[in-house]
Structures are given as structure tokens and as C-alpha cells.
Amino acid sequence: MTTSALINIGQLPWTDNDDRITSIVCNEKLYVFERKYKKDGERVHNFAVFHTGNNFAIYDLTTHKLLKHAVHKELEVGGDKDELFFVKNNELYLLTFSPTNQIELDAIFKFDVEQNEFRHLLKISGDTTFSAEYENQFCRLLSCGEDDKHNVYFLSDADQANGLVISLNMDEGKASRIIFESSADTHIRCVMSKGVYHDNMIDVFYGHYGCGVMPCHRNVWRFDLKSRKHSILNVTVADNYNLGMTSIAFVKYVPQKDGIVVGRNYMNCGFAGRGGGIPQFDGNLWLMHNVSTSHLSWTRIKSKVDGNSEKENNGVAFINFDPETGVVVYGKKKDGIFMESISFEAGEPDIFENDE
């Protein structure tokens, strides 16, 4: 079985030269959100958000048509608030939080599919404030996925040594920190880039500061929600694949493959699109096998996704993946939005030169 042909499903309905676009795949629809730096008077915050009232578009991934393009009204979110999109039970949500000197969870907004807008759902209760380790630390919050009950999980670098894992009960709107048993081999200081929930565990991809942020693709930091322990696991790779140093665009759990698809797809190290210049897609997708076990391995999988372009200012603005359908979807500024069904077939090996 081979990968399918690329399908063009339309153009980006607005021009964005700064790569501040967030994409979400939910219920066989692609949601694309424009983000701009938030301003309070003359003060400009160091993060970009959608909730101040920006462009958004919705595409149907089954009919390949644009369903909606509009400018969303500004949400009632005051002050120093960042945001995070997540999906629970095939419904789309937006979470607001304060990121400076702490993580302070604020509120949840739910996307109304009838009115095509976010509406305030609840104020988060429970454990909502988590202090940072350092003064003036800007804290990141990552969405890690959902379980089959009522919970969604988040990860923060407010506690860089031990990791900060937060569960949010969506029925009650109550947040709780999950405390894990610490040990010498897992007391590390790292920069967490992505996390993904599966099998009552959260696997965290991370790196260390060096030339920018240097990704550690040969290891994952695993949090076991049942045993409340965490460990560093090695991820093997065949000798004929070069893992490289590209950063991570997305991670998605694919249960039918007992694997995690990683769009490790930007050519610059570190966080794609945050402080490291304009990211460029390198065209590679990876599958981490056997994630229900501790014996993990990498395979690069075939894809026709093209990250390079001879057209000026035509890089990939976003890329995402739907694990239920096996569809990769990405948008280029001038060429438009494309989707491709992948087969998970192993890609061609790399050719290494003999230096002898």
C-alpha cells in the first residue's frame, strides 16, 4: 500500500507573513486560527493569541470544502492571558491561563458548531496556580490529550526538574496536579516541547539548551499515571535513518498502530515559530513504535508532503494530523491547503558517505 495523492482543499483566506497560525483537527474538520501579539495599552506581550478577535477558517476534510471564514469577536479575557486549544470528545475548546512567574489556569471556552464561535463554558476551579522556579519565568502549557473518562491532561515547564502534570475534569471544571515519585535519574532540567497521552501514560518529548534548544529524539520522558512514577526511556533507531535535529510540529497517538506519529518537521532547532525565525517544513514524518511497552523505536514513514518551495514567502504555515483517518493536512501561504492519507509504510533509508 502506498500513500495517496495530495488533495488541494483550498487557499488560506487571509495573508499571514509571520507564521502565527494554529491548526486543530477535530471531528473530520480542520480549524485554522490566526494569532496576533496581545496588547494592553502601549504594552505588547511576548505571546500571540487568537482570543483578541482574529481570522479563523473551517474546512471539511471529507468534502474538501471551506465551510466558514470570519473574524471572531474578541473574547472577554483580560490582562496577561495566554491560550491553548484542545479537543475532548470531538469537541473543540480554548483554555486561557496566565504564563508569567506561574501557571494560573483561568477559564474554558467551548466552540459552538451551530454559531461558529467560542462561548464561555466555565471558570476553572481546584488547583489552578502553580509557581515558577525562577523570577520572571515565562511558563509554557502543553495539551497532552484526553482519557476515556472525563479528563484532559496538560503539562507545564513551571517545574522544569520534576515536570508539572495537570488533569482537568471537564464535567466538574476542576484541575488537579498529579504528583509523581521522583528519582535521581529523572531529576533532569529540560525544555519540554510536546506531550501525548496514551494507555494511562504521558510521553513527553524534550530537549536541552545549547545552540537554541537541542531536541533529544533518542529519549522520551514517560509519566505513568497509574504507578505515579516517571522514567526516561530510550528510543532506538535503525542504523540507516538519520534522526537529525529538527524540532517538533505535532505528536499524535495512533492506537491502531500502537504508535505515535511525530511531525518532527521544522528545519530550525527548538520551538518552531517561537523566537527562532521562520520555521520551514522538511517533509519528514516519523512513527514511534510499541508505545504501550518500554521498548520504543523510530521509523521514518513515507509522505508526499512538500515543505520546500521556489516561490517567495511560500513556506508551510501549519501542519497537523488526524489519527482516526490517517490524514496529514498542511497549509502553504501561496499554494494553498493540502491533505494526504498516509499508509505508515517505511520511508527510504538515508545514504551516509564513507569518510574513510
Which three cell numbers mark 54? Answer: 482574529
pLDDT in tens, 310-332: 566 667 788 899 999 999 999 88
CA distance 212 to 215: 9
Q: How far is CA 73 from the centre of its chain?
A: 25
pLDDT in tens, 206-262: 887 776 677 888 999 999 999 999 889 999 998 788 887 778 889 999 999 999 999
Position 29 scores a pLDDT of 96
> For position 267, what pLDDT does the model report?
54
Which residues, listed in sequence order, are joined to residue 119 by a DSSP beta bridge?
A: 110
What is the Cα–Cα distance from 5 to 83, expressed in whole angstroms? 35
Asked whether 331 and 307 are in contact (CB, 8 A), the reply is no
E strand residue ranges, 141-190: 141-146, 151-156, 164-169, 174-178
Find all residues with CB under 8 Å of 126, minimum gap 6, and list them: 174, 175, 176
Cβ neighbour number for residue 233 with a 10 Å cutoff: 15
For position 15, what pLDDT does the model report? 76
pTM over 0.85: yes
Please give the average per-residue pLDDT across 288-296, as a whole number: 97
pLDDT at 353 over 70: no
**How many CA atoms within 13 Å lie on the side-chain side of 308?**
5
